[in-house]
Amino acid sequence: MKLGAFSASLSVKDLATSKTFYETLGFSQFAGSMEHNYLIMKNGNALVGLFQGMFEGNILTFNPGWDESAQKQDNFDDVRAIQKHLKSNNITLLTEVDETTTGKGSCMLQDPDGNMILIDQHV
């Protein structure tokens, strides 16, 4: 399966403090804004999303159809195909994408240890 770009989406207490911390690690702001309470930070192919007040806990995020620079990929597995594969392997989904639609969509699941996973297609 081709899950696309990977990032860690972190729930942070203070967006400005977290931004400074990750800049010290060599990350730079790639997307998002302070005004919208989230930043996507990038260091090479590594992506870390910083989200203040949007969700609790941290989420592993995959973006089918995107590379690490948010550029559309021609050859990728649609989120609906990924969802069908997961369901056919008895993986319980917390949220599902409507399989009658096309384009953007997402589904969520947890790994065996309770870590949240978001498969979020933007194309």
Query: Looking at this protein, which amino acid is placed at residue 58?
Result: N
Residue bearing tokens 């990038």: 42
pLDDT in tens, 70-102: 999 999 999 999 999 999 999 999 999 999 999
Q: What is the mean pLDDT of residues 57-64?
A: 97
Half-sphere exposure of 26 toward its Cβ, with a 13 Å CA cutoff?
4
**Alpha carbon separation from 112 to 36, 60, 117 (Å, rounded):** 32, 14, 11
DSSP assignment, residue 72? B
Any idea which architecture 5-121 has in CATH? Roll (3.10)
Query: Looking at this protein, which amino acid is placed at residue 108?
Result: M
Confidence grade of residue 46 (pLDDT, cut at 50, 70, 90): very high
Residue 65 CA to residue 28 CA, distance in Å, equals 23
